[in-house]
Structure 1
Amino acid sequence: MAASEAALEAAAVLPGEDFSRVALTADAAGLLRKLWGIHGPLMFHQSGGCCDGSSPMCYPAGEFITAEADVLLGVFDLPGCGPLEFWMSREQFAYWKHTRLTVDVVEGRGSGFSVEAPEGRRFLIRSELLGG
């Protein structure tokens, strides 16, 4: 399996939808299991910001407070760990609502706020049009 191919699909959670909008590569899932062992339960938030803010940010669960300005896109059942929510800002979702997202990981340092930063790797989003 290529590194960018989906290995784990999130459960569909948006009302009226029966398909997954977000997935993890095997590499991303492996890094998340390692980070879970260090930080405990985790969550993702994808903002509409620039620079590091346009990458998915991984936080200890509950550390990033979500509200009406955010959309829960999916929940992963991370093997050996537990549920991991993937959130996106509502404004960003308005632009990306026709895409399916795959969280992957590459070498390099991401934001200092995302828990993978000290690992020398960073999460990134690969997207494809739904139905495409």
Structure 2
Amino acid sequence: MTPPAPRVELTPAAAELLRRLRAVHGPLMFHQSGGCCDGSAPMCYPEGEFRTGDSDVLLASLAVEGIDEPVTFWMSRSQYEVWSHTRLIVDVVEGRGSGFSLEAPEGVRFLTRSRLVGT
């Protein structure tokens, strides 16, 4: 039996950017809210800087080669209800994202791509 695909995965470019950000900022986390101001993009923060609660779902603890601790990926519960049938792929694209996300000064931004579960 084939194990299920992970709910969240990283492209090689996203993993490389996380390694660089980890070296500067320490342990990391993602949160994707679905709100305004790039809310549909995953935001990267120092672990624990964004407060999660009952309105959030922990989708993954991502193992990244070269980083000792997992990078957690949280999503607002309301957005998860819409995206629950998808597998999320975190990528990096050129362009400036939100000023709140750690990669903003790098001239790139994280982007979530999705595939239907089972594809």
Would you say same fold, with TM above 0.5?
yes
User: How many residue pairs were aligned?
Assistant: 116
Indicate yes or no: 2:52 matched with 1:75.
no
Per-residue displacement from partner, 1:40-86 (whole Å, max 9, x unpaired)? 00000010113411100000000001001000000011121121100
Structure number with higher strand proportion: 1
Partner of 1:5: none
Q: Is contact 2:5–2:118 with CA below 8 Å preserved after alignment?
A: no
Q: Distance in 2 between matches of 1:32 and 1:113?
A: 16
- Which gives a bigger RCO, structure 1 or 2 (Cα 8 Å, sep 6+)? 2
Q: Percent identity?
A: 66
Describe how 1:1-132 pairs up with structure 2 within 5 A.
19-81=5-67, 82-132=69-119
SS for the counterpart of 1:106 is: strand
How big is the alpha-carbon RMSD for the aligned residues of Structure 1 and Structure 2? 1.3
SS for the counterpart of 1:131 is: coil
Query: Quick one: which amino acid aligns to residue 73 of structure 1?
Result: L
SS for the counterpart of 1:30 is: helix
- Contiguous gaps of at least 5 residues in structure 1: 1-17
- Contiguous gaps of at least 5 residues in structure 2: none
Q: Distance in 2 between matches of 1:50 and 1:28?
A: 23
Shift of 1:19: 4.4
With normalisation by structure 2, the TM-score equals 0.93
With normalisation by structure 1, the TM-score equals 0.84
